[in-house]
Structure 1
Amino acid sequence: MAFHTWWLFVVTVFFISGSPGPNMLHVMTRSVELGLARSTLAMAGCFIAVVMLLSASALGLAALLAALPGAFTVLRVLGAGYLLWLGYKSWTAKDAAVDLVDGQGVPAISNGRIFRTAFTVGISNPKALLFAAAFLPQFIDSSKPELPQLVVMILTFGVIEISWFFVYALGGRSIASALTRPALRTLFNRITGGVFVAFGLAMLGSRT
């Protein structure tokens, strides 16, 4: 891959990855709820999911899903349903943070559950497979071996994605200092819940 092609890929991915979406919103809310240190588990879950989707796309799974639209529809509905469920949980959390069930406000959620929930959020959008299948080939030099180029692009995407996770997590900590009042916490939970529901409904309404 030529340097100028890689640089164009970096700039494009920078803006795509930084756009607010379910992964970034989830990392930010975990940072608000659990602190920056424990939100790294959410970052890890979303990050591994993204890398798996990109790798699967590179290996041709996206083409398989495109050839089996019924399977893609099932995955899309399941992913949308999970986002709607997260939205419901956040909306109904009232003045407590999502998944905080200890009466003293101590996070009762386990590290494993933080990771699993984040991984499910990241992996629940199969459209990322088709996006990667349409996006990655545009930067491949057909005159050179494809696999090394795909590896470079996936690693580059991963570095940029995890960097944006930290940006959103740090933003979440800034928001957390303003959410000590129960009324503001409730408002924040309902806004984030509404955004998750909007993502889920948008996924259900998609036909591609």
Structure 2
Amino acid sequence: MTGHAAVVDGEGVAKERVDALLRAVPARDRETRPEALARAERQRRRWATQVVVTDELARRACADRGLKPPAEVSPAQVLAVAETDVADLGSIVAAALAHSPAARVLLDRLEREQDVPEAAVRDYYERNRDRFLTPEALRRGADPFGGAVAGDFLPYEDVREGVARELRRAAGRRAFFDWLDRARAGVVYAHGYEHPGDPSHPDHEHRH
């Protein structure tokens, strides 16, 4: 596997792609001890490999679906990753979506493919009443689960589209995770480029 960080369906993913991403994303570790710094760099390389492999898998998935991602950007143009995205998606997927136009196009298609039943939208509205208080009710400190009256809530018809969009987005993300788990199951990694959470190497970390 000389020169390759991983092999996807018999084709190598060049180590240079991983190196380019590492050059574009500065290390955040502040370790000074040699052994700790070496460990941090190993994990950073493994993390970057997952981002690059996700990009490669997404390119192939887009080609299979007849989707055309926008022009590829250089690693130096990687978009800033919001902390909320890291919390919601995990650092690897959040970075992959920032790094990979193909991953973003695929996620968008998966979101648009999701069917959100009217009953699910209504159920969300009924179970999350605190999210739909009117501004006046919020200022008054109305209790959405006791004491608030019908007029304290935004009408269902006014918020339905926003709720459906939010549920479709969540379903699309779940579909993206399911696709990624299946797609990378057969990926073979070079030594030192394994998943950072792979328990087969001694300094693994369970991070996504």
- Structure-1-length-normalised TM-score: 0.22
Higher relative contact order (CA 8 A, sep 6+): 1
Q: Which has the higher helix share?
A: 1
Which structure has the bigger radius of gyration?
Answer: 2
- Structure-2-length-normalised TM-score: 0.22
